[in-house]
Amino acid sequence: MKITVFGASGGTGVEAVRQGLEAGHEVTAVVRDRARLAVGDQPRLEVVTADVFDPDSLVSAITGRDAVISALGARDRGPSTICRDGTSAIMRAMKTAEVRRLVVVSNSGMHTEGDSFFTGRIFKPVLIRILREAYADMRVMEERVTASGLDWTIVRPPRLRDWPRRGAVATAVGRNVRGSYNIGRADLAGYLLAAAADEGLVRTAVSVAQG
């Protein structure tokens, strides 16, 4: 496949780039600063420096690709529109480029479907207050993605960890994975790549956690 990865210099994004290349895909990594991408030059890797808020600057990085993966996310807990506005720009560019497949990273923390009583009624309200800015950004992003008309998949992970890839991911469609509250970025990235090629996940929100 030919895949474009946004947020490619972040923890999940760089793993998606690395694993995509290892799997034989042609990968376009979109970054703001080339120096932050911890992947060396490789024959099937194209690195594009662009403003993720400017859809016109993104079209060339998307044209001719089979799928787009967005691992955009804020770097701190303060107010941010990186997910909602960055993803909106990506989707506008995708429509211009006539590319339909989109996989975006959101979170399972702001959702309670499938959670235990303790998690959903006691723990999650505290978590939602602490991460309210990031969750507000991702909630609007999800609304815009589901209304886009694209062939989207929203992937909702719990707490992200810098674990080596384990190859075991638990999933649940339309609800959270019960009893697992973490996932390694490497395993999340592997799932994103698999989801991009899975037509059965089109227009589906799926929660993931370490299996």
Rg for the chain (alpha carbons), in Å?
16
Please list, in sequence order, all residues whose beta carbon lies within 8 angstroms of the beta carbon of residue 70, skipping any fewer than 6 positions away. Answer: 6, 7, 86, 87, 90, 102, 103, 104, 105
CATH code of the domain containing 161: 3.40.50.720
- Whether residue 50 is predicted with pLDDT greater than 90 in this model: the reply is yes
Strands 169-173 and 151-156: unpaired
**Stretch 140-150: mean pLDDT:** 98
Distance CA 141, CA 47 (A): 25
- Whether residue 10 is predicted with pLDDT greater than 90 in this model: the reply is yes
115-141 pLDDT, tens digit each: 776 676 666 766 767 777 888 999 999
- Whether residue 36 is predicted with pLDDT greater than 90 in this model: the reply is no
How many domains does the structure of the chain reveal?
Answer: 1
CA 138 from chain centre, in angstroms, equals 11
**Stretch 183-199: mean pLDDT:** 98
- How does DSSP classify residue 108? S
More confident residue, 117 or 72: 72
The pLDDT assigned to 116 comes to 72
The pLDDT assigned to 41 comes to 85
In angstroms, the Cα distances linking 204 to 99, 104, 134, 155 are: 18, 11, 22, 9
**Stretch 43-57: mean pLDDT:** 96
- Whether residue 201 is predicted with pLDDT greater than 70 in this model: the reply is yes
What is the share, in percent, of the chain residues with pLDDT greater than 90?
A: 76
Residues spanned by the domain of 102: 2-210
Q: How confident is the model at residue 203 (pLDDT cuts 50, 70, 90)?
A: very high
Distance CA 73, CA 39 (A): 19
Distance CA 94, CA 144 (A): 14
Q: Look at 20-29, 73-82, 161-170 and tell me which has the smallest mean pLDDT.
A: 73-82
177-188 pLDDT, tens digit each: 988 899 999 999
**Which among 7, 170, 175 has a CA at the least distance from the CA of 103?**
7
Torsion of CA 81, 99, 11, 138, to 10 degrees: 30
The pLDDT assigned to 112 comes to 72
